[in-house]
Amino acid sequence: MTTNVEISRTLDRAPTGGVVRRCLMGIRLYLNKRRERLTLSCLSDDALRDIGLTPSEARTEVNKSWFWG
């Protein structure tokens, strides 16, 4: 019998999951990056300094291409 931990580990392995799973994981990665960049764009300068970023570094990350990275 498998536990929940073992099941979740196997679901995160893209290469063994086939084409559909790799596509879904790519979409999930894209959406996570998009959400994080949107969050960064809303933070104040003080909040950015609290997490160790300068406003310039945050702008660079937010302005990255949606397609390439």
Q: What is the pLDDT along the chain (69 residues), one digit of tens a residue?
A: 455 555 555 555 555 668 999 999 999 999 999 999 999 999 999 999 999 999 999 999 999 877 665
How many CB atoms neighbour CB 43 within 10 A? 16
Q: Which two tokens stand for residue 26?
A: 């790519």
The residues, ordered by sequence, that sit 6+ positions from 58 with a Cβ below 8 Å of its Cβ are 40, 41, 43, 48
| pLDDT for residue 65 | 75
Closest to 52 in 3D by CA, of 42, 63, 64, 43: 43
Indicate the pTM of the whole model. Answer: 0.62
Angle between helices 18-42 and 55-62 (to 10 degrees): 140
